Chain A
Amino acid sequence: MSSVKAPLQKKSELPQSSFPETELDKATIRFAGDSGDGMQLTGTRFSSTSVLAGNDVISFPDYPAEIRAPAGTLAGVSSFDLSFSSSEIYTTADYLEVLVAMNPAALKANLKDLEKGGILIVNSDSFAENDLRKAEYKENPLESGELNDYRVVQIPITKLTLKAVEETGLSHRDGARCKNFFALGVVKWLFVRPLEQTQEWIQEKFKRPEIAKANELALQAGYNYAITVELFHARYHVPPAVLPSGDYRQITGSQALALGCVAASSRSGLTLLYASYPITPASDILHELAQYKNFGIKTIQAEDEIAAISSSIGSAFGGTLAVTGTSGPGFDLKSEAIGYAVMTELPVVVLNIQRGGPSTGLPTKSEQTDLLAAMYGRHGEAPVPVLAAATPGDCFYMVLEAFRLALKYMTPVIVLSDGGLANASEPWKIPDENKLPDLKPDFHTEQENFSPYQRNQQTLARNWAIPGTPGLEHRLGGLEKDSVTGEISYEPENHERMVLLRDEKIKRIKNDLPPLEIIGPEKNELLVVTWGSVYGPAFSAIEELQEQGHPVSMLHLRHLNPFQKNLAGILKNFEKVLVPEMNLGQLSRLLRAEFLVDTIPFAKVQGRPFLISEIRSRILELLAEK
């Protein structure tokens, strides 16, 4: 992994700059400040610029649950990480080359992630006594010597910003709010990025001309300041990445889920109804889909979580593509209705954007702690297919796969994402619409011998006849059904038959899934099995270890219920199986129960993703044990 510790003296004589430029493979930068400092916006803008410069980019926003925690406190720190690279990357790097800290609290909360020798840009205007006290600093870190290991660049960002925007006549308060653009200007210069795209964006985004003007002035002032004052010894250039050829865009996990829904509607020819109750970090899906009214998308902001899924199931009965989205607490509330969809065998997709739990837990942080809830969190025998997305872009394909299974097998399907994937963004190869799966539904219209519980002998899916179809009037409900007629039945043997039928139907999905592909040799000392967003850090660690010749392979699972057929065989070819998860070993437990394999769980439950180094160290430890 490269870093700015690369020799600073090295001079690349690029014509447009008199400054030495150091070429880097990859860099990671964090913008950190108060929740009100606009750090998410700054980070997003820098991501866009990097994407357009052709880098592979992964970003990871991290923000508190409070909208405006007391200003200047540790609780109120909001940050945005982005890694940009000249080769493919799968997660943000473990350590930062550059940290921008807009106040002492941001410095205190984030300094531990900055590499020794890394660049630390601070807004020196916000280090007054009061600011230090709020951040619980006894001494001013800019003076105490504790930052000696870093290359500290102090800039009076607030003062300079106010000066720069003076001509717009904005108030002190509004003027000072432009300081994030000043910081962005500095960083843009540092990484040899053009200003134009951001200037255009500012013009589009800010309706009030004086605000747009002020932000532009601040951006330019930051850039100019970096040149004039010779803040840095060098500039850093990350060349474009070579990605598989094609057209790309940037996408977050939430956007990908929303686009997946629109694509599913288009590929099925059905209206899609998304009913949801606002909950972090799932609300963005509702925000996205609410815009697409000319794409056959209908949205309902329901009165509560239960109503959201109930409305979805009601729409499925009507023959619509039904989907609801939520996060942990809302997922609990939806359990009863998911069981109802199991019983009535109606197709509905449930998106669970996992966050830290239990209870309200860590609303804005990421975990994978709902896997067992997705598998078993319902009363009665209520099997449901469970899928999990690996990357932000993969969310798109997982939604399509969920609808494919829901429609083909007449079942609810749960898709697990997490807060990290939802907000993280990456370059995404734009798919060809016509190559997406065909989701045309097979509505039953034949009147003769109709029963709503007649089944396709291969898939065991029941008939889907929708209101408006003459002669097929029927009633569905949560009471047990006769396996032949679909009428209410409390008969003991029939109940067992139905329990087995519903179970077998989900198991048969196995026959419909492609075999798992192993990353690395099929027989090896160690296999690392991952699901969900652990893919990124695990893949980065394993790619590197494999290059170094270590006997480790990787298997990533997108289908968690049922598992793919060849999983059993693969697991038996390894001496050890390590399962890193952001929970206490939920997948590990499932693998043990189903395959009698002595898996080694590797847990991290801090509300933040694994570092590449954490996975690498654990792998090396296991390989060293003999």
Chain B
Amino acid sequence: MNVQVKPRSSIELTKADFVSDQTVRWCPGCGDYAILASIQKLMPELGIPKENIVFVSGIGCSSRFPYYMDTYGLHTLHGRAPAFATGLKVARPDLTVWLVTGDGDGLSIGGNQLLHMLRRNLDVNVLLFNNRIYGLTKGQYSPTSEQGKVTKSTPFGSPDMPLNPMLFALSAGATFIARTFDVDAKGMQEIFKEAVKHRGTSFVEIYQNCNIFNDGTFSPIYERTVREDRILKLKHDEPFIFGKNQNKGIRLNGLKPEVVNLENGFNRDDLLRHDQYTSDSTLANLLSNFNYPEFPVPMGVLRQIKNSTYGEIIEKQINTHLEKHGKGKLTDLLRGTHVWTN
């Protein structure tokens, strides 16, 4: 810390305190509005003085987010938000840093930055708005678009295999992986709260509808009428059960997961049970691979494990060095080991 500040912790903050004076310029009907409202609503509950909060973003529709939050904010370069956040958080461990990115920003141009931030376990909260399309450049396919996707840049269908954000994060060693969706106000709140509590990179993928260029991309999954059959709500230590009548479950058949009907001779004890805290990544891996329509799509915390954060390790090294050598004296350093006088 470089300046003496008086935190305004004594002041009760409300949602309105976190709404900036900027006009929100997302398209009417965009899923981003709901996510913004959810974050603004959550902020006062966290009890963190707003001067100690920074929202960092890259480039894209989602990355306009910091302008709408009345906290400190940094709207950075395309794909580079994780690197900016890394410098900021290492420099200022006292700050609470949020990172807002999208499927293009985070997984295409910024894939490398996101990968390395995850593996370092930098203590930030990541919101990855996944709408499976490039919005700000007006509708080209993104790294999460399904193969064969017809867009302006792929009139005959996208040849690329889509990237699975959960698997990406998992393989990078992420310590907190969760998924939620823009029309589930309550679900988002719960996940965001968990994300804030976690020490290390909290990686949250948010299914977000782009009603202009990719309208309804997630409707087959989260449309209100089908949701219960197509979403698996994760709860720690609970068996994998879903369906309108809570009659379907997922069990392991050998090494293969399969959907079973609880009315057909299977019971709760036959089912896989969620363990978000296990250090073994097998279960998180299975969950990350549950795709519609073969499986219900898991929503909730897929994985949450403890590990040292990047900042903790850096601070520890500094402290150890200070204990051993004391505070360095510039004059001694300038003089070095061999001095002679003329």
Contact = CB atoms under 8 A, between A and B. Distances in A.
Interface string A322-358: 1000000000000011001000000000000000000
Given A468-B52, A478-B76, A315 B90 contact: yes
A437 B55 CA distance: 35
A345 to B, nearest CB: 13
A318 B88 contact: yes
Given A319-B91, A468-B3, A475-B74, A292 B84 contact: no
Contacts of B327: 294-295
A310 B86 CA distance: 9
Contacts of A52: 338, 340
Interface string B31-62: 00000000000000000011111111000000
22 contacts: A247-B335, A248-B340, A251-B336, A293-B318, A295-B330, A303-B116, A307-B112, A310-B86, A310-B113, A313-B87, A314-B89, A317-B88, A320-B2, A320-B91, A340-B76, A433-B330, A433-B331, A441-B2, A443-B3, A472-B51, A476-B75, A477-B73
Interface string A228-247: 00000000000001111111
Nearest to B65: A475
Contacts of B115: 303
A450 to B, nearest CB: 12
A318 B91 contact: yes
A406 to B, nearest CB: 15
A431 interface: yes
B38 to A, nearest CB: 20
B225 interface: no
Q: Which 9 pairs show the lowest CB-CB distances between chains A and B?
A: A477-B75, A311-B87, A314-B87, A310-B83, A314-B84, A475-B73, A315-B91, A307-B83, A295-B328
Given A262-B333, A302-B83, A477-B67, A248 B341 contact: yes
B72 interface: yes
Contacts of A319: 2-3, 91-92
A10 interface: no
Given A310-B113, A319-B3, A298 B51 contact: no
Contacts of B336: 249-251
Interface of B: 1-3, 5-8, 20, 22, 49-56, 66-67, 69-77, 80, 82-92, 94-95, 112-113, 115-116, 314, 317-318, 321-322, 325-328, 330-331, 333-336, 338-342
A473 B328 contact: no
A102 interface: no
A271 B315 CA distance: 13
B50 to A, nearest CB: 6
Interface residues of A, number: 74
Contacts, number: 223
A51 interface: yes
Given A300-B87, A311-B83, A476-B74, A468 B95 contact: yes
B40 to A, nearest CB: 14
A243 B333 CA distance: 22
Contact of B317 (A266, A293, A295): A293
A477 B75 CA distance: 4
A298 B88 contact: no
